[in-house]
Structure 1
């Protein structure tokens, strides 16, 4: 089922997408990212993530569960998003091991789950966005 198109945004907060297959973890991560001052939209798999990215050119951050099932490998989704939207800030989160050097796209960050509010605020500050 497709998500409805987003209403017009006021631009007061940068937009972030949380991509997480587990609903409880998605809600927790979205809450953490929102607490850091982002407006948050959600996706539960790669297909819904790509639809959200297409619908929201103003998107600034994507937080991606590195452990989503993907036949192309653990970090395939984050690489695909990096190719689709160069310059978009990307963060992989995982309950599994940290990635080997070079496993993530250049400039992508990694965090162990759960994502902490302090790290989310650091990412926002790195975007040049004032913290609220």
Structure 2
């Protein structure tokens, strides 16, 4: 996990157990202007959220991961406890069913490209949470 002592106005928590996808998603979000904190599963993500929730504006998570909960459960927990955090969930295998995702969460199919992620972020993030590079 990477952590910064100084919060960024645009901080994203990226959660994925696949190291290559984690690196790719981190790179996409950093290129878009986010400071990124990484977690390998939902349990690690919850630890990060409990400590840094005030500075995190975006949760970008996989669905299927080892641990006590999947990405859908992480999304619901995040929406309930930290409603200021925007949620994007990605998967190449699982498709959300009714009530899997919180109301304002966005789903992205894997494999995703940087442009697909940027497009979803522009749709789901409020203007004050968009890094300058994503404002059109």
Bucket of the pairwise TM-score, normalised by the shorter protein: 0.7 to 0.9
Could you tell me which residue of structure 1 aligns to residue 36 of structure 2? 40
Could you tell me which residue of structure 2 aligns to residue 7 of structure 1? 5
SS in 2 for 1:49: helix
- TM-score with structure 2 setting the length: 0.79
Which of 69, 79, 93 is the matching residue for 2:76? 79
Q: How many residues get paired?
A: 128
Could you tell me which residue of structure 2 aligns to residue 21 of structure 1? 17
Could you tell me which residue of structure 2 aligns to residue 109 of structure 1? 106
Contact 2:43 2:69 in 1 (8 A): no
RMSD over aligned CA atoms reads 2.3
Which of 111, 115, 118 is the matching residue for 1:118? 115
Per-residue deviation, 1:131: 2.6
Contact 1:19 1:64 in 2 (8 A): yes
> Between Structure 1 and Structure 2, which shows a larger proportion of helix residues?
2
- TM-score with structure 1 setting the length: 0.82
Any gaps of 5 or more consecutive residues in structure 2? none
Any gaps of 5 or more consecutive residues in structure 1? none
